[in-house]
Structure 1
């Protein structure tokens, strides 16, 4: 009968489906399923088919939907920070910040110049020690009696100290001092003349000594005479550095620091650079000693005395030159302030001016409040730039000044 035949065919179909090699239903038991050879994610064929599958109109791919649903705040946290703004402590004497900034170099290799012990907080003491050599030179070799100078010599001396001394008549300046200081004025002026040369030659331009090939010498002419200011190449590098500072002060400081350090490797090139630097300092000494004004201020013309004067002056300039390079190896840098940028009148107390010790110490300072400053003993020194703020500026050493006497205008 048709009904029985239909039932029989259904039973046969069920039997075939229950066979081991037959297709397994998704609702069947796990242990009875045939294991898959590949997973969905590991099948290149399946992935290829999925990527090439035609999308329905108006339906976006799953990958785009996942990207759009990403948390925007979490995404913002993964963005790299802009600008060179690493944070360190100010008193990082080991220069960890600058070492991290170029950690792909061999930073711990030895250098031809030992700068590691020249810490910023010690710079005033180091500079005062070097300038003390200039004061000793003035005391030992320069004329002491200003009465022995001509009117032209006095005028030229005051004119050469512009920025360090008020531009007034020499005798008027001397007579404005306390009487006990009259005899030391000329020695102090010769000392200031050397200090001014030193600062303008070495401490104003951190690249004053740089040349492409120190073994072959620099920019001196056939007679060995240097240009008026820094050597040409060093002046060009300094101009480039100044342009960098205008656009990115923090990057410029690092560039100056590493240019100085990498110019002094523990290699022939580094030692040639030091030898050239010393030769420049020596030639500056010869140039200064050859000036008509300086010759006229020497106490003796004896050859043996002049030879000693030359050697001692070379020691001073070499010491100052080396110190200027060591300072350039650090992240921070120095700025000086002179009479043209200081208050022309002494005020007590002052954040950037101290009275010279020759006036009797701090207890006497109130007596000279409001008096006009005559000349410097030491310019004001500022410590500038650090890892947190490249425009940071703080008084490191107050200017030391000589002022007019109280009795004179009282």
Structure 2
């Protein structure tokens, strides 16, 4: 046994020599081949096919299963009652609200307080109030300021500027859902008709009086065909891209027009750390966001109503379900301090949707309550 163990020790090579002999001088051929095969696979991998080409190969039955799910036949009746694009009322309200984004822009670019507009004449102040007709009570500047809630009185001018932007968006987009349609008479018509969207909206309003349900179907299908996304809503997205480009160009112009317009320019800060380009680009983003969200939400069923001061009545009524206090308005005793008091300003308009219920008739559902500032109760009332 001792002899055998000694023989083994004699023929054993040193550890350093053994480790050096096992180290390969080049990578194994098998690894080289695997790397080469992987590279070849990446080089020969086909490019992804555009979604338009894939959708063009789908049959009507396949598109129906994508849009409606299994078990829904592809016919006109199911298209009228099918919820192929579903959003809750609360979700619609959140997506169409601009109160927070507008307020941030005004905080950066609006005048700081009332002292900064002392140079404005009485005629200029009167023009600011009159330009907010339907959103603000039509009383003189000083009377409105004195009745303003104490906790937000320092931001009086900022609230006025916020409402000017909100009113501009609602008037140009929400109340006119077809504003981006070019109204061309044919392929040779390069100019189109800028009034086409307004005339189509007027026709739709008359149809709503005749039959709200079918009028809603007409409006939502026009919007879907003009802006639909692949493959759930339309077979081709050409027109959707075309109208998105038209909206992008228009909202840039609208933002520039608002900054230069009267009375908005009177409530803008002249000297700040941001450039005029930043001011225009950020406001353009707010307009663009509103335009794109409304273009797709208007594809939903139902007739949408954007309501302001005339629809709320003169006083704050929480039980109506149409109104709430503005985000920054925190009265000392909660809603009891403003209940039954006069509404002074609609900061953000309300949104309702009309549905046709065969059992109960037409119904309105509130997607977002109107944010308002109301006069507070004091010890003198």
Q: TM-score, structure 2 length as denominator? A: 0.69
* TM-superposed deviation, 1:153: 3.1
1:35-184 to 2 correspondences below 5 Å: 100-101=75-76, 116=85, 118-128=87-97, 130-149=98-117, 150=120, 151-184=122-155
The CA distance in 2 between the partners of 1:336 and 1:374, in whole Å, is: 18
Aligned to 2:283: 313
Matched, 1:376 2:342: no
- Asked whether the 8 Å contact 1:211–1:217 carries over to 2, the reply is no
Indicate conservation of the 8 Å contact 1:334/1:382, yes or no: yes
Q: Secondary structure at the match of 1:168?
A: coil
Find the counterpart in structure 1 of residue 32 from structure 2. none
- Rg (Cα) greater in structure: 1
2:264 maps to what in 1?
A: 294
* CA apart distance, 1:99: 7.0
In structure 2, stretches of 5+ residues that fail to align are: 1-66, 228-233
Q: Secondary structure at the match of 1:392?
A: strand
Shift of 1:304: 5.7
Q: 2:89, 2:367 within 8 Å by CA — same for their partners in 1? A: no
CA distance in 2, matches of 1:397, 1:409: 33
Alpha-carbon offset, residue 381 of structure 1: 2.1
Q: What is the CA–CA distance in structure 2 between the aligned matches of 1:395 and 1:362, rounded to whole Å?
A: 27
Match of 2:212 in 1: 249
Shift of 1:269: 2.8
Check conservation: 1:165, 1:339, Cα contact below 8 A. yes
- 1:160 Cα deviation (Å)? 1.0
CA shift, 1:399, in A, is 2.2
1:307 Cα shift? 0.9
Partner of 1:365: 335
CA separation in 2, counterparts of 1:325 and 1:98? 27
Compute the displacement of 1:188 (Å).
Answer: 1.0
- Of 197-206 and 264-273, more deviation after overlay is shown by 264-273
Contact 1:381 1:396 in 2 (8 A): yes
How far did 1:324 drift?
A: 1.3
* 2:314 counterpart of 1:344: yes
2:223 corresponds in structure 1 to 260
- Measure, in 2, the Cα distance between the counterparts of 1:243 and 1:407: 46
Alignment of 1:200-279 (within 5 A): 200-212=171-183, 231-264=194-227, 266-279=236-249
Offset, 1:218: 5.7
Unaligned runs of 5+ in 1: 1-92, 109-114, 221-230
Report the Cα distance in structure 2 between the residues aligned to 1:217 and 1:303, rounded to whole angstroms: 42
Q: 1:94 to 1:394 in 2, by over 3 A?
A: farther
CA contact (8 A) 1:331 1:386 kept: no
1:116-172 deviation digits (Å, cap 9, x = unpaired):
4754431111122x3422121111101122222213332221111111110111222
Separation in 2 of the partners of 1:408 and 1:373?
19
| Offset of residue 302 of structure 1 | 7.1
Partner of 1:77: none
1:197 lines up with 2:165 in the alignment: no
Which stretch has the larger CA shift, 241-250 or 254-263? 241-250
Structure 1's 178 and 251: CA in aligned 2 closer, same or farther, altered over 3 A?
A: closer
Q: Distance in 2 between matches of 1:153 and 1:242?
A: 36
User: d(CA) in 1 for partners of 2:134 and 2:89?
Assistant: 25
Q: 1:94 to 1:327 in 2, by over 3 A?
A: farther
Q: Is the 8 A contact 1:219 1:232 kept in 2?
A: no
Task: Flag the 1:237–1:370 CA change in 2: closer, same or farther, 3 A.
Answer: closer
Q: What number of residue pairs does the alignment pair up?
A: 300
Distance 2:295 2:361 in 1: 20
Cα distance between partner residues in 2 of 1:204 and 1:251: 19
TM-fit CA distance, 1:330? 0.5
**Matching residue of 1:227:** none
Shift of residue 392, structure 1, vs aligned partner: 2.2
Tell me the distance in 1 between the aligned counterparts of 2:312 and 2:328.
21
